[in-house]
Amino acid sequence: MTDYDFVIANPEGYDLAPEFVGKAKVTHNQDEALEGADFVYAKNWSAYEGDNYGKVLNMDRNWTVSKEKMALTNNAYFMHCLPVRRNMIVTDDVIEAPTSLVIPEAANRVVSAQTVIKKLLQDNY
């Protein structure tokens, strides 16, 4: 629904529900997804379907966002909602790079939470 490409890359067995994917491209090849990307938003994965719901099925560290992985991008900005497991989801050199947006992103959560609380209080009084 946008004028840019949105790619979801996840390990096999971690596919998202179709209603969340929409028309986004989905791949199980992280390098393919990172190639030429302008932004990288990393998240840990747990299974969505069946008896494996919420379980971590694979501890493959090849999915860790590293300096080498970021070199595949178009000098992309790195994003994560925090907290993050350093050197599992993302390496220290990526999360602390000048292209990391994690701290400004975290600051936005404070404003968002304040807005929700204000709205709840206004609606109830």
Q: Which of 57, 71, 81, 103 is catalytic?
A: 81
Q: Answer yes or no: 81 catalytic.
A: yes
Is residue 70 within 8 Å of residue 101, measured between CB atoms?
no
CA dihedral 102, 70, 4, 16 (to 10 degrees): -80
Q: Say how many Å lie between the first and final Cα of the chain, rounded.
A: 37
Residues assigned a catalytic role = 81
